[in-house]
Each structure stands twice: as structure tokens, then as C-alpha cells.
Chains A and B, each alone.
Chain A
Amino acid sequence: MKRQHDSLIVRTMSRMLIPLAQLFACYVLFFGQYGPGGGFVAGVIWTTSLILTFLVFGLKSPQGRLVERMLHGDGAGLIIFVGVGGLCLIGGGEFLNYQHLEIPGLEAAERRYVGIVLTQIGVAADVAVTGISIVVSLAFHDTQREYHV
């Protein structure tokens, strides 16, 4: 897992499949308001594409490094979620009441649309990062250490 996969077939197939999976994740994310899907599912699909990335190209490759860097965005998704909810709270409504999302020049329905999309993006980002961090910590965990607390 630390280095590139040997088989050319696997590498070529992954090069095709990974963008496809990510595109599908985006579709599920933005289609989530009208049909089955949404942030969680999109996040999971996105995670599978990222896990495939470093299974095939290794954690040391440029692609793998990109995935590793994403781990630093640990709470970013949650910040988006809480931020949108908090803006609604500041706008005078309940937490996550998108009608009170004070964005100038938007109708009530459009505010709800924007609010839901933003929250779903937050959820998707968080699920994706959590998924990768589970896999990375299972695969590349430190040796057992004694801590003093």
C-alpha cells in the first residue's frame, strides 16, 4: 500500500474509475434534494474513490499525498455545517432554519436551496475525511506507545 500497484491494468482502470466515482459523488450530492442521495452518501462515494487512489498509487505518490493532505481538513465539514446553522440562528430563526439565512437578493425558496446544498457539502466533506482517516490510521498506525497523562 505504501508504493504503487504493480499491475498496469489496475492502474489504468483506476485512472478511469476514480474520476467517474467522484463525478457520481457530485451528482448524488446535488441531486440529493430531489431524489435519493445527499451529503452522507456522496461523502461515502467520494471516500471510496480516495481510498482506491492510495491503494493503487500508494501514499507516497503525488495523488496519495493529496489524499493525506485532506486529513488536515478534519473539522472543515463540520465548520460549514455549524456555520450555516449558526448564520440561520443569527438571522433570527432556529438552528438550521434556512429561511432565515440572510443572503441579500434571494427569495425564501432560494435561501432554502442554498442552505441545504451548503449543509450537504459540509456533511459530505466530513464523511469523506472521516472515512479516509479511519483507513489511514488502520493501515499506517503507530507502534504501541505508553503515554503519560
Chain B
Amino acid sequence: MMRHLPAIIFLLPLALAICMPLLGMRKQAWCRPLAIIAMAVMALVAFVNLVGVVQTGGIHYEFGGWAAPVGIEWVNDGLASVMIMALSVMALVCVIFISSVLFPNLGTRVVHFYTLVLLLVAGLVGIVFAGDLFNLFVFLEVSALCGYALVGLAGGKALVAGFRYLILGTFGASLYLLGVGYFYAETGTLNMADLALRIPDLVSSKAVAVGILFMFIGLGIKMALVPLHGWLPDAYTYAPDRVTPMLASLVTKAALLGWVRILFWVLGAKAVIFQIPVLFLVGFLGAVAALIGAFLALSQEDIKRMFAYGGLSHIGLILVGISMGNHTGFSGGLFYLLTDAVMQGGLFFWAGALIHLYGIRTIHDLSRLREAPGWLSGVLVVLAMSMIGIPPTGGFFGKWYIVLGAIEARNYLAIVAVLIATLLTLAYFVKLFERIFRDRVAGQVETVRDIPLAVRICLGTASASAVILGLLSDQVIGFLLRTAIPPGL
């Protein structure tokens, strides 16, 4: 049974997503508990899978029993099992948040809503496990299509943002597919392990180089790497507040993980296109993204938009980490990816709760937060510590290992970029804290609504896991170093 766990993890959200219209049309009240139970079971199975991979090492799951180059395989190794664990836990917390009573009742549309959410999760699971370039494309599109629909769900401005996301996302997917086409034309295979054997002989081929570029730009749009990030801020600002945490913490990271898979497991860390090492290119763009993202976040007034730009800067930091070309930087980058998923989720939980409890949308309204319970600000302090990188939190250790990797690689510009991005992050959080703690403008006392239990659970889990990831960073990094290092790095 152990070797079937990847398929079971994938089938749980998928099967429930299909059954949801059938079950939910009769009893709409069932949708919420069913979705939460499915996510909880998925998290449990993912944990069993992780333990299994730790004990026996990774496996390749062959669909239909056909061996790899002919059939389709899923890779269940150290990297995938850790990421699936993080993904399923974050998905569970996000689904709890989505179903909170804080938000307006969806009426009959609740059925379609949960179907989309569960399909999104299924698509993300597929991206993490995919061992085949075309499969990766399919699951990218499955998750992206659900993402477009979820963004546009709010109507009004969200429709425009969702449409923009759709156009740019489809453009990115087409570019990626074009790149896959070039690879297939040159090598005659789409399986990642098989490609990894054939690519080294074709390094001088222009078709392969162009294919790499197309894939990188395509996935760059999907992961909102800074020059290609146009869709993200609007989409996250106007998306329904209940789905933003899920999109922010999972979707862009999954695309980033897909690029890590291709870069290190297919092309190899030493890949060169047109005399430029791919790692250098990725690291350079990552550093630019880290700086510009943080800089743009500093100039925002809308809280959700500010956090969205903060997320852009963190995508850049992760890319800087993985592009250092040594084990320390790579595992630091992956660790930062895990932490960032938690932090982004937590920040958007916080922003969503504020909008619906107190009507606070912009930084100016934050002075009203003094009527709120103190722990609400405390959650933000913990998450901000992690975002900035202050010691007991996960964010600090992620940045620490990225900087250690940069020192090891003697890449001092990367260190400078990480430090400046950190200072800018500090600056925009100081802007928030100044409003919360220093502003003496007496806001009118709102009728304080009780904070729903589901929101408390989500905020508590997010801030606690930011700290726990920091405390357990040694073990997590050690595990990543043992199991998730790609061959040839």
C-alpha cells in the first residue's frame, strides 16, 4: 500500500471535487465538513508518505504499470514528500479559513466554490509529484484555471484582475508548452529522468537553449518573477479575501517548485545557455525581484497589495538561495520556500480577518486596531518577525542559510541584495506598526465582532508554525540536505 500513497494523495481532493456537485446539490451543509475532512485525511496520508520516504528512500510511481520512458511516472522523493506535507497542511488550514463564518454566505454557489478549491489542491499535488514535462504543464493548467475562476469570483474589479491573470497565465503556459515542444523535438522524450540523460549531449543545441528560455519565461509568469509579475498584485488585492491565502501561499510556490525540478533534475546545475550559466541568470533575476518587490511593497497603502508585493520579493529570495550552486544555498532556498508558504498564508489570513471584522483595508485605517484584542496585533508581530528575519522564526534561518550559501559561493552581490531586501521588508513593516502602535488619532469605537474560532485557529497555526519552523530549522535543513539534494549539485 505504501507505494500507492502518491496516487491516493492526489485522488482524495480530485475524487471529492468530482463528487461535490452530486453530494452538495442535495445537502449544501455537507460541503464544508467534507472538504475539511478530505484535507485532514490528505495531510495524514502525506505524513505517512513522508515517514515512508524517510525510511525507505524515494520511489517512482508508474501509472498503469508502464515503465518510465513509455509510461507516465510520478517522482516521490525527498523533495516531493516534504513539499506535499507542507502543501497539504497549508491546504487544510486554508480550507478551514475559507469555510469560516466570517465571510458572507455563498448560497447555492458554495458547491461550485468547494469544487474549484479542491481541484486547485489536486492540481498543485500533481505539479509537485510530476516526473514528466507534459504532465507538469497539465497540472499547472488545472491549478491555474481554478485560480482564475477563484480570483474572478468576487465580481466587479476582481473580474478584470482575474481576466488579466487568465490572459497572462495562459500566455505563460503557452510559452512553457512551446519550450517542452522544443525539448521533445530534440530528444524525443518528455520524461524528466530520461531527458536528464540526453540533455548533456545537446548543450550546444540552439533548440534546447531556446526551449530552456521559453520554459523559464513561462514558469516565470506563473511564479510572478518580478519583470513578469503584472497579474499578481491586482489578482491578490481584488480576489475574495477567503481565497487569497490559498493562492498566495501555494500557487506561485508550486510553479517555483516546478522550475526547481526542471532546473536541477533535468538540465543539471551546470547548464549553460548562450555562454551564460542558467544558475547565474536565475540568481540575478532573483536578486532583482527581491529588491524591486520589497521596494514596491514599501510604497503601497492597501494592506493586501503590500503583502502581495512582499510575496514577490520572497520569490526572488528563494531563487537567490537555490541559484548559489551549493548544498547550503539550495537547502536554505527550499527551507525559505516552506517558511514563505506559511508566512504568506498567515499574512493574508490576517488581512482577510481585518477586512471582514473591522473594515480595515488600508494602512490609514490601522489605527482603529486598538479596539481589537491585542493578540491580533501579536500575530502580525510574529509573522513580521519571520518576514523580516528575526532569530527565533523560520524566516531568519531561511535567510541565514541563503547568506551562508552565498558566502560559500563567494557571491557577495547576492548577500548585499538579501540584506537590502531585508531592510526594505523591515521598513514596510515599520510603516504598519507605526500606524498600529503609535497613532494617537482616536478612531470611532466599532461594535467589536467576536472573532470566529476558525479564524483564531488559522492565525494561531500560521504564527506558531512560523516559530516552530525556526526552532526545528536544524532538523528540517538536515533532512533537506540528506534527501532533497539533486544529483550533480
| A interface, CB within 8 angstroms of B | 74-75, 78-79, 82, 85-86, 89, 93-99, 144-149
The interface residues of chain B lying within 8 Å CB-to-CB of A147 are 109, 153-155
Q: Which of A78, A94, A144, A148 is B65 in contact with, Cβ under 8 Å?
A: A94
Q: Which residue of A lies closest to B6 (CB)?
A: A95
Expressed in whole angstroms, the minimum distance between the Cβ of A99 and any Cβ of chain B is 7
Expressed in whole angstroms, the minimum distance between the Cβ of A101 and any Cβ of chain B is 11
State whether the Cβ of B19 lies closer than 8 Å to any Cβ in chain A: yes
Q: How far is the CA of A56 from the CA of B157 in the complex (A)?
A: 37
> Nearest 8 CB-CB pairs, A to B?
A97-B65, A149-B240, A75-B18, A96-B64, A95-B7, A146-B155, A148-B104, A147-B155
State whether the Cβ of B281 lies closer than 8 Å to any Cβ in chain A: no
State whether the Cβ of B63 lies closer than 8 Å to any Cβ in chain A: yes
Interface mask (B7-45 → A, CB under 8 Å = 1, otherwise 0): 110010011011101100000000000000000000000
Task: State which residues 246-281 of B face A: CB under 8 Å.
Answer: none
Listed A/B pairs (23) with beta-carbon separation below 8 Å: A75-B18, A75-B21, A75-B22, A79-B19, A82-B11, A86-B11, A89-B7, A89-B8, A94-B4, A94-B61, A94-B63, A94-B65, A95-B4, A95-B63, A96-B63, A145-B155, A147-B109, A147-B153, A147-B155, A148-B154, A149-B103, A149-B240, A149-B242
The interface residues of chain B lying within 8 Å CB-to-CB of A149 are 103-104, 106, 113, 153-154, 240, 242-243
The interface residues of chain A lying within 8 Å CB-to-CB of B15 are 82, 86
The interface residues of chain B lying within 8 Å CB-to-CB of A86 are 11, 15
State whether the Cβ of B408 lies closer than 8 Å to any Cβ in chain A: no
Q: Which residue of A lies closest to B74 (CB)?
A: A95
Q: Is the CB of A89 within 8 A of B153?
A: no
The interface residues of chain A lying within 8 Å CB-to-CB of B17 are 75
State whether the Cβ of B156 lies closer than 8 Å to any Cβ in chain A: yes
State whether the Cβ of B186 lies closer than 8 Å to any Cβ in chain A: no
State whether the Cβ of B62 lies closer than 8 Å to any Cβ in chain A: yes
Q: How far is the CA of A74 from the CA of B21 in the complex (A)?
A: 8
The interface residues of chain A lying within 8 Å CB-to-CB of B22 are 75
Q: How far is the CA of A7 from the CA of B75 in the complex (A)?
A: 58
Sample of 7 further A-B pairs with CB below 8 A, known A89-B4, A96-B63, A99-B65: A75-B18, A89-B7, A93-B65, A95-B64, A97-B64, A149-B106, A149-B153
Q: Which residue of A lies closest to B72 (CB)?
A: A96
- Given the known inter-chain contacts A89-B7, A148-B104, please indicate yes or no for A94 contacting B14, CB distance below 8 A: no
Expressed in whole angstroms, the minimum distance between the Cβ of B384 and any Cβ of chain A is 27
User: Which of B8, B15, B104, B156 has the most chain A CB within a 10 Å cutoff?
Assistant: B15
The interface residues of chain A lying within 8 Å CB-to-CB of B19 are 75, 79
Q: How far is the CA of A95 from the CA of B7 in the complex (A)?
A: 7
The interface residues of chain B lying within 8 Å CB-to-CB of A85 are 11
Interface mask (B189-206 → A, CB under 8 Å = 1, otherwise 0): 000000000000000000
Q: Which residue of B lies closest to A99 (CB)?
A: B65
The interface residues of chain A lying within 8 Å CB-to-CB of B64 are 94-98
Expressed in whole angstroms, the minimum distance between the Cβ of B79 and any Cβ of chain A is 21
Expressed in whole angstroms, the minimum distance between the Cβ of A124 and any Cβ of chain B is 16
Q: How far is the CA of A96 from the CA of B63 in the complex (A)?
A: 6
The interface residues of chain B lying within 8 Å CB-to-CB of A96 are 63-64
Interface mask (B48-64 → A, CB under 8 Å = 1, otherwise 0): 00000000000001111
Q: How far is the CA of A75 from the CA of B114 in the complex (A)?
A: 14
Expressed in whole angstroms, the minimum distance between the Cβ of A2 and any Cβ of chain B is 24
Q: Which residue of B lies closest to A147 (CB)?
A: B155
Q: Which residue of A lies closest to B71 (CB)?
A: A94
Q: Which residue of B lies closest to A97 (CB)?
A: B65
Q: How far is the CA of A147 from the CA of B7 in the complex (A)?
A: 36
Expressed in whole angstroms, the minimum distance between the Cβ of A118 and any Cβ of chain B is 14
Expressed in whole angstroms, the minimum distance between the Cβ of A117 and any Cβ of chain B is 15
Q: Is the CB of A94 within 8 A of B7?
A: yes
Q: Is the CB of A82 within 8 A of B65?
A: no
Q: How far is the CA of A93 from the CA of B109 in the complex (A)?
A: 38
Expressed in whole angstroms, the minimum distance between the Cβ of A1 and any Cβ of chain B is 25
The interface residues of chain B lying within 8 Å CB-to-CB of A99 are 65
Q: Which residue of A lies closest to B156 (CB)?
A: A146
Expressed in whole angstroms, the minimum distance between the Cβ of A70 and any Cβ of chain B is 14
Q: Which residue of B lies closest to A115 (CB)?
A: B64
Q: Which residue of B lies closest to A100 (CB)?
A: B65
The interface residues of chain B lying within 8 Å CB-to-CB of A82 are 11, 14-15, 18
Q: How far is the CA of A75 from the CA of B24 in the complex (A)?
A: 13
Q: How far is the CA of A85 from the CA of B22 in the complex (A)?
A: 20
Expressed in whole angstroms, the minimum distance between the Cβ of A81 and any Cβ of chain B is 9
Expressed in whole angstroms, the minimum distance between the Cβ of B100 and any Cβ of chain A is 12
Q: Which residue of B lies closest to A83 (CB)?
A: B15
The interface residues of chain A lying within 8 Å CB-to-CB of B154 are 147-149
Q: How far is the CA of A96 from the CA of B64 in the complex (A)?
A: 4
The interface residues of chain B lying within 8 Å CB-to-CB of A75 are 17-19, 21-22
Q: How far is the CA of A79 from the CA of B14 in the complex (A)?
A: 10
Q: How far is the CA of A145 from the CA of B109 in the complex (A)?
A: 13
The interface residues of chain B lying within 8 Å CB-to-CB of A78 are 18
The interface residues of chain A lying within 8 Å CB-to-CB of B61 are 94
User: Which of A95, A96, A98, A99 has the most chain B CB within a 10 Å cutoff?
Assistant: A95
Expressed in whole angstroms, the minimum distance between the Cβ of A78 and any Cβ of chain B is 5
The interface residues of chain A lying within 8 Å CB-to-CB of B156 are 146
User: Which of B19, B22, B65, B242 has the most chain A CB within a 10 Å cutoff?
Assistant: B65
Q: How far is the CA of A86 from the CA of B1 in the complex (A)?
A: 13
Q: Which residue of A lies closest to B64 (CB)?
A: A96
The interface residues of chain A lying within 8 Å CB-to-CB of B4 are 89, 94-95
Interface mask (B77-110 → A, CB under 8 Å = 1, otherwise 0): 0000000000000000000000000011010010
Q: How far is the CA of A95 from the CA of B74 in the complex (A)?
A: 11
The interface residues of chain B lying within 8 Å CB-to-CB of A145 are 155
The interface residues of chain A lying within 8 Å CB-to-CB of B18 are 75, 78-79, 82
